[in-house]
Amino acid sequence: MTREILHADLLGRNSFGVAATADRIVEFSDAASLRDYLAAHEDIRQGKLGVLGGGNNILFTEDFHGTLLHPAGEGFSVTGSSGNSVSVRAEAGLDWEKFVERCIGLGLWGTENLTAIPGTVGAAPVQNIGAYGAEAKDIVESVETLDLATLKEVSIAGCHCGFGYRDSIFKGVLKGRAVITAVTFRLSRTPRPNLGYDALAREVEDAGGATLENIRTAVRRIRGEKLPDPAVTGNAGSFFKNPVVDGELAERIKREYPDMPSYPVPEGVKIPAGWLIEKTGWKGASLGRAGVYGKQALILVNLGGATGNEVTALARRITDDVETRFGIRIATEVNIW
Protein backbone atom coordinates (compact mmCIF):
# COMPACT_ATOMS: atom_id res chain seq x y z
CA MET A 1 0.00 0.00 0.00
CA THR A 2 1.24 3.51 -0.80
CA ARG A 3 0.03 6.96 0.15
CA GLU A 4 0.98 10.12 -1.71
CA ILE A 5 1.23 13.50 0.03
CA LEU A 6 1.68 16.56 -2.19
CA HIS A 7 3.29 19.83 -1.09
CA ALA A 8 4.26 18.13 2.16
CA ASP A 9 5.18 20.16 5.24
CA LEU A 10 8.44 18.82 6.70
CA LEU A 11 8.47 20.86 9.91
CA GLY A 12 7.15 17.98 11.98
CA ARG A 13 9.13 15.39 10.04
CA ASN A 14 12.64 16.44 11.06
CA SER A 15 13.99 16.44 14.60
CA PHE A 16 15.86 19.72 14.09
CA GLY A 17 12.47 21.38 13.73
CA VAL A 18 13.40 23.50 10.72
CA ALA A 19 10.77 24.68 8.29
CA ALA A 20 10.85 23.10 4.83
CA THR A 21 8.54 21.45 2.31
CA ALA A 22 8.78 18.61 -0.18
CA ASP A 23 7.05 18.45 -3.52
CA ARG A 24 5.83 14.98 -2.65
CA ILE A 25 6.10 12.29 0.00
CA VAL A 26 5.28 8.70 -0.89
CA GLU A 27 4.67 6.46 2.09
CA PHE A 28 5.04 2.75 1.33
CA SER A 29 4.23 -0.32 3.40
CA ASP A 30 6.69 -2.77 1.83
CA ALA A 31 9.07 -3.31 -1.08
CA ALA A 32 6.37 -4.62 -3.41
CA SER A 33 4.20 -1.55 -2.87
CA LEU A 34 7.08 0.80 -3.57
CA ARG A 35 8.14 -1.19 -6.63
CA ASP A 36 4.64 -1.12 -8.09
CA TYR A 37 4.26 2.59 -7.42
CA LEU A 38 7.56 3.52 -9.06
CA ALA A 39 6.90 1.22 -12.01
CA ALA A 40 3.65 3.07 -12.62
CA HIS A 41 5.24 6.54 -12.20
CA GLU A 42 8.32 6.62 -14.40
CA ASP A 43 8.49 10.43 -14.23
CA ILE A 44 8.79 10.31 -10.44
CA ARG A 45 11.31 7.50 -10.56
CA GLN A 46 13.50 9.49 -12.96
CA GLY A 47 13.21 12.67 -10.89
CA LYS A 48 14.89 13.67 -7.67
CA LEU A 49 14.37 11.03 -4.97
CA GLY A 50 15.29 10.85 -1.32
CA VAL A 51 14.50 8.59 1.61
CA LEU A 52 13.02 10.07 4.77
CA GLY A 53 12.69 7.82 7.80
CA GLY A 54 12.17 9.39 11.19
CA GLY A 55 14.00 12.56 10.14
CA ASN A 56 16.36 12.27 13.11
CA ASN A 57 19.66 12.60 11.25
CA ILE A 58 18.73 15.10 8.55
CA LEU A 59 19.09 18.85 8.33
CA PHE A 60 17.06 20.54 5.60
CA THR A 61 18.71 23.70 4.30
CA GLU A 62 16.11 24.25 1.57
CA ASP A 63 12.83 22.88 0.27
CA PHE A 64 13.09 19.42 -1.28
CA HIS A 65 12.09 19.71 -4.92
CA GLY A 66 11.42 16.08 -5.61
CA THR A 67 9.91 13.01 -3.98
CA LEU A 68 10.75 11.70 -0.53
CA LEU A 69 10.14 7.98 -0.01
CA HIS A 70 8.97 7.19 3.50
CA PRO A 71 8.92 3.58 4.78
CA ALA A 72 5.78 2.96 6.83
CA GLY A 73 5.95 -0.81 7.40
CA GLU A 74 6.38 -1.76 11.06
CA GLY A 75 6.43 -5.55 10.90
CA PHE A 76 8.48 -7.57 13.40
CA SER A 77 9.09 -11.32 13.41
CA VAL A 78 11.50 -13.99 14.58
CA THR A 79 12.66 -15.67 11.38
CA GLY A 80 14.99 -18.38 12.62
CA SER A 81 17.27 -19.69 15.33
CA SER A 82 20.32 -21.87 15.64
CA GLY A 83 21.50 -22.76 19.11
CA ASN A 84 21.52 -19.53 21.09
CA SER A 85 21.53 -17.35 17.96
CA VAL A 86 18.17 -15.87 16.92
CA SER A 87 17.36 -13.97 13.71
CA VAL A 88 14.83 -11.16 14.00
CA ARG A 89 13.43 -9.31 10.97
CA ALA A 90 11.97 -5.81 11.24
CA GLU A 91 10.52 -3.60 8.55
CA ALA A 92 12.22 -0.28 7.89
CA GLY A 93 9.47 1.95 9.29
CA LEU A 94 9.47 0.41 12.77
CA ASP A 95 10.57 2.87 15.44
CA TRP A 96 14.03 1.83 16.66
CA GLU A 97 13.16 2.12 20.34
CA LYS A 98 10.09 -0.07 19.87
CA PHE A 99 12.31 -2.60 18.12
CA VAL A 100 14.79 -2.62 21.02
CA GLU A 101 11.93 -2.97 23.50
CA ARG A 102 10.53 -6.01 21.67
CA CYS A 103 13.94 -7.68 21.43
CA ILE A 104 14.57 -7.19 25.14
CA GLY A 105 11.07 -8.45 25.86
CA LEU A 106 12.04 -11.70 24.12
CA GLY A 107 15.18 -11.95 26.25
CA LEU A 108 17.50 -11.39 23.27
CA TRP A 109 20.90 -9.73 23.68
CA GLY A 110 22.51 -7.34 21.23
CA THR A 111 20.38 -4.19 21.07
CA GLU A 112 20.43 -3.09 24.74
CA ASN A 113 23.35 -0.64 24.44
CA LEU A 114 21.65 0.96 21.44
CA THR A 115 18.48 1.90 23.27
CA ALA A 116 17.10 5.46 23.20
CA ILE A 117 18.63 6.26 19.80
CA PRO A 118 16.01 8.20 17.85
CA GLY A 119 15.07 6.92 14.42
CA THR A 120 13.74 3.91 12.58
CA VAL A 121 15.04 0.41 11.88
CA GLY A 122 15.79 1.36 8.28
CA ALA A 123 18.17 4.10 9.37
CA ALA A 124 20.23 1.85 11.65
CA PRO A 125 22.44 0.28 8.96
CA VAL A 126 22.72 3.50 6.96
CA GLN A 127 24.43 5.32 9.82
CA ASN A 128 25.82 2.18 11.44
CA ILE A 129 24.36 3.62 14.63
CA GLY A 130 26.41 3.10 17.75
CA ALA A 131 26.64 3.84 21.46
CA TYR A 132 28.56 2.62 24.50
CA GLY A 133 30.81 0.22 22.63
CA ALA A 134 28.10 -1.31 20.43
CA GLU A 135 27.32 -0.68 16.75
CA ALA A 136 24.64 -1.84 14.33
CA LYS A 137 27.28 -3.74 12.35
CA ASP A 138 27.68 -6.10 15.31
CA ILE A 139 24.16 -7.43 14.89
CA VAL A 140 23.02 -6.76 11.29
CA GLU A 141 22.65 -10.08 9.47
CA SER A 142 21.20 -8.75 6.21
CA VAL A 143 19.55 -5.69 4.72
CA GLU A 144 16.64 -5.90 2.27
CA THR A 145 16.58 -3.16 -0.35
CA LEU A 146 14.79 -2.07 -3.49
CA ASP A 147 17.17 -1.08 -6.29
CA LEU A 148 15.73 2.11 -7.78
CA ALA A 149 17.53 1.59 -11.08
CA THR A 150 16.21 -1.91 -11.76
CA LEU A 151 13.24 -2.08 -9.34
CA LYS A 152 14.58 -5.42 -8.15
CA GLU A 153 14.56 -6.50 -4.52
CA VAL A 154 18.11 -7.15 -3.33
CA SER A 155 19.22 -8.62 -0.01
CA ILE A 156 22.70 -7.57 1.13
CA ALA A 157 24.55 -9.55 3.78
CA GLY A 158 25.78 -7.51 6.73
CA CYS A 159 29.39 -8.39 5.92
CA HIS A 160 28.95 -6.72 2.52
CA CYS A 161 27.47 -3.46 3.82
CA GLY A 162 30.82 -1.68 4.09
CA PHE A 163 30.23 -0.70 7.68
CA GLY A 164 32.57 1.88 9.16
CA TYR A 165 32.39 4.53 11.84
CA ARG A 166 28.91 6.01 11.25
CA ASP A 167 29.21 4.88 7.67
CA SER A 168 28.05 2.21 5.23
CA ILE A 169 27.62 1.59 1.51
CA PHE A 170 24.16 3.15 1.87
CA LYS A 171 25.89 6.51 2.41
CA GLY A 172 28.36 5.73 -0.38
CA VAL A 173 27.95 3.74 -3.57
CA LEU A 174 24.30 2.89 -2.90
CA LYS A 175 23.24 6.38 -1.83
CA GLY A 176 20.29 7.43 -3.96
CA ARG A 177 20.00 3.97 -5.47
CA ALA A 178 19.00 1.52 -2.74
CA VAL A 179 15.96 1.99 -0.51
CA ILE A 180 16.08 -0.11 2.65
CA THR A 181 12.79 -1.92 3.21
CA ALA A 182 13.64 -4.33 6.06
CA VAL A 183 16.58 -5.47 8.18
CA THR A 184 17.33 -8.85 9.77
CA PHE A 185 19.39 -8.85 12.96
CA ARG A 186 21.31 -11.70 14.55
CA LEU A 187 20.79 -11.63 18.33
CA SER A 188 21.60 -14.02 21.16
CA ARG A 189 19.81 -15.80 23.96
CA THR A 190 23.13 -15.99 25.80
CA PRO A 191 23.86 -13.01 28.07
CA ARG A 192 26.72 -10.93 26.65
CA PRO A 193 26.83 -7.62 28.52
CA ASN A 194 28.95 -4.94 26.88
CA LEU A 195 30.05 -2.73 29.77
CA GLY A 196 33.34 -1.34 28.53
CA TYR A 197 32.29 2.24 29.29
CA ASP A 198 32.95 3.05 32.95
CA ALA A 199 29.89 5.25 33.40
CA LEU A 200 27.63 2.52 32.06
CA ALA A 201 29.29 -0.18 34.16
CA ARG A 202 28.79 1.87 37.33
CA GLU A 203 25.13 2.56 36.54
CA VAL A 204 24.46 -1.12 35.85
CA GLU A 205 26.21 -2.22 39.03
CA ASP A 206 24.23 0.29 41.08
CA ALA A 207 21.02 -1.07 39.51
CA GLY A 208 21.79 -4.57 40.71
CA GLY A 209 23.77 -6.21 37.91
CA ALA A 210 23.98 -6.86 34.19
CA THR A 211 20.49 -7.77 33.10
CA LEU A 212 18.93 -6.61 29.84
CA GLU A 213 16.51 -4.30 31.62
CA ASN A 214 19.19 -2.86 33.92
CA ILE A 215 21.48 -2.09 30.98
CA ARG A 216 18.65 -0.53 29.00
CA THR A 217 17.58 1.59 31.97
CA ALA A 218 21.17 2.69 32.61
CA VAL A 219 21.73 3.69 28.98
CA ARG A 220 18.47 5.64 28.91
CA ARG A 221 19.39 7.46 32.13
CA ILE A 222 22.87 8.40 30.91
CA ARG A 223 21.60 9.57 27.53
CA GLY A 224 18.78 11.52 29.16
CA GLU A 225 21.26 13.44 31.30
CA LYS A 226 23.49 14.36 28.36
CA LEU A 227 21.18 14.75 25.38
CA PRO A 228 18.32 17.17 24.72
CA ASP A 229 14.86 15.86 23.91
CA PRO A 230 14.10 16.70 20.23
CA ALA A 231 10.46 17.20 21.19
CA VAL A 232 11.57 20.12 23.36
CA THR A 233 14.77 21.38 21.71
CA GLY A 234 15.34 20.76 18.02
CA ASN A 235 18.46 18.69 17.36
CA ALA A 236 19.73 15.66 15.48
CA GLY A 237 21.91 14.13 18.17
CA SER A 238 25.65 14.15 17.57
CA PHE A 239 26.29 16.62 14.75
CA PHE A 240 29.96 15.76 14.31
CA LYS A 241 31.94 12.53 14.06
CA ASN A 242 34.81 11.87 16.44
CA PRO A 243 37.96 12.32 14.33
CA VAL A 244 40.68 9.71 14.02
CA VAL A 245 44.19 11.16 13.69
CA ASP A 246 47.69 9.74 13.45
CA GLY A 247 49.63 9.05 16.63
CA GLU A 248 52.11 11.88 16.06
CA LEU A 249 49.42 14.56 15.93
CA ALA A 250 47.65 13.06 18.94
CA GLU A 251 50.89 13.14 20.96
CA ARG A 252 51.57 16.74 19.95
CA ILE A 253 48.13 17.84 21.15
CA LYS A 254 48.48 15.74 24.31
CA ARG A 255 51.69 17.57 25.25
CA GLU A 256 49.84 20.88 25.14
CA TYR A 257 46.60 19.51 26.62
CA PRO A 258 47.44 16.68 29.06
CA ASP A 259 43.73 16.26 29.86
CA MET A 260 42.86 15.31 26.28
CA PRO A 261 40.92 12.05 26.19
CA SER A 262 41.96 9.66 23.42
CA TYR A 263 41.25 6.11 22.35
CA PRO A 264 43.52 3.91 20.22
CA VAL A 265 41.77 2.40 17.19
CA PRO A 266 43.18 0.37 14.28
CA GLU A 267 43.32 3.48 12.06
CA GLY A 268 45.12 5.66 14.62
CA VAL A 269 43.87 7.60 17.63
CA LYS A 270 40.26 8.70 18.13
CA ILE A 271 39.75 12.06 19.85
CA PRO A 272 36.27 13.10 21.08
CA ALA A 273 34.97 15.91 18.86
CA GLY A 274 33.01 17.24 21.83
CA TRP A 275 36.27 17.84 23.73
CA LEU A 276 37.80 19.65 20.75
CA ILE A 277 34.72 21.85 20.37
CA GLU A 278 34.61 22.61 24.08
CA LYS A 279 38.27 23.68 24.04
CA THR A 280 37.50 26.21 21.31
CA GLY A 281 34.93 27.84 23.60
CA TRP A 282 31.80 26.86 21.68
CA LYS A 283 30.09 24.70 24.32
CA GLY A 284 26.90 26.49 25.36
CA ALA A 285 27.53 29.30 22.86
CA SER A 286 25.31 30.32 19.97
CA LEU A 287 25.29 32.02 16.60
CA GLY A 288 21.94 33.62 15.94
CA ARG A 289 19.16 31.11 16.50
CA ALA A 290 21.45 28.08 16.42
CA GLY A 291 23.55 26.99 19.36
CA VAL A 292 25.77 24.34 20.93
CA TYR A 293 24.13 22.32 23.68
CA GLY A 294 25.42 23.27 27.11
CA LYS A 295 25.74 19.69 28.36
CA GLN A 296 27.31 18.12 25.27
CA ALA A 297 29.31 20.10 22.73
CA LEU A 298 28.77 17.49 20.00
CA ILE A 299 25.16 18.55 19.69
CA LEU A 300 23.92 21.58 17.80
CA VAL A 301 20.46 22.81 18.72
CA ASN A 302 17.68 24.93 17.28
CA LEU A 303 17.13 27.69 19.82
CA GLY A 304 13.84 28.61 18.18
CA GLY A 305 13.02 29.29 14.56
CA ALA A 306 16.49 28.55 13.20
CA THR A 307 16.83 27.69 9.53
CA GLY A 308 18.99 24.88 8.26
CA ASN A 309 21.40 27.43 6.83
CA GLU A 310 21.79 29.05 10.25
CA VAL A 311 22.73 25.68 11.71
CA THR A 312 25.25 24.98 8.95
CA ALA A 313 26.77 28.44 9.40
CA LEU A 314 27.37 27.61 13.06
CA ALA A 315 28.81 24.22 12.09
CA ARG A 316 31.25 25.86 9.67
CA ARG A 317 32.44 28.30 12.33
CA ILE A 318 33.03 25.47 14.78
CA THR A 319 34.79 23.33 12.18
CA ASP A 320 37.09 26.22 11.19
CA ASP A 321 37.93 27.05 14.80
CA VAL A 322 38.77 23.44 15.66
CA GLU A 323 40.99 23.17 12.60
CA THR A 324 42.75 26.44 13.41
CA ARG A 325 43.53 25.39 16.97
CA PHE A 326 44.23 21.69 16.60
CA GLY A 327 44.92 21.05 12.91
CA ILE A 328 41.99 18.64 12.78
CA ARG A 329 39.08 18.98 10.36
CA ILE A 330 36.04 17.42 12.01
CA ALA A 331 33.35 15.99 9.75
CA THR A 332 29.59 16.14 10.13
CA GLU A 333 27.58 13.05 11.06
CA VAL A 334 24.23 14.61 10.13
CA ASN A 335 23.02 14.40 6.54
CA ILE A 336 22.67 17.93 5.20
CA TRP A 337 20.10 18.38 2.42
Cite the beta strand spans of 15-120 per DSSP E.
21-28, 49-51, 58-59, 64-71, 76-82, 85-91
Q: What is d(CA 318, CA 187) in angstroms, rounded to the nearest whole number?
A: 39
Other C-beta atoms lying within 10 Å of the C-beta of residue 223: 16
Which residue in 89, 166, 186, 216 is the catalytic one? Answer: 166
- Active site annotation includes 333: yes
- The residues, any chain, with a CB within 8 Å of residue 153's CB and separated by 6 or more, are 31, 35, 144, 145, 146, 147, 181
Q: What is d(CA 267, CA 197) in angstroms, rounded to the nearest whole number?
A: 20
- Active site annotation includes 62: no
Question: 132-162: buried (b, 16+ CB within 10 Å) or exposed (e) per residue?
Answer: bebbbbbbbbbbbbbebeeeebeebebeebb
The 3-state DSSP class for residue 148 equals coil
Cβ proximity of 181 and 216 under 8 Å: no
AA identity, residue 256: E
The 3-state DSSP class for residue 313 equals helix
C-alpha to C-alpha distances, 84 to 89, 140, 189, 190, nearest whole angstrom = 17, 16, 5, 6
CB hemisphere CA count around 299 (13 angstroms): 22
Which residue in 144, 216, 238, 310 is the catalytic one? Answer: 238
- Active site annotation includes 238: yes
Which positions are annotated as active-site residues? Answer: 166, 238, 333
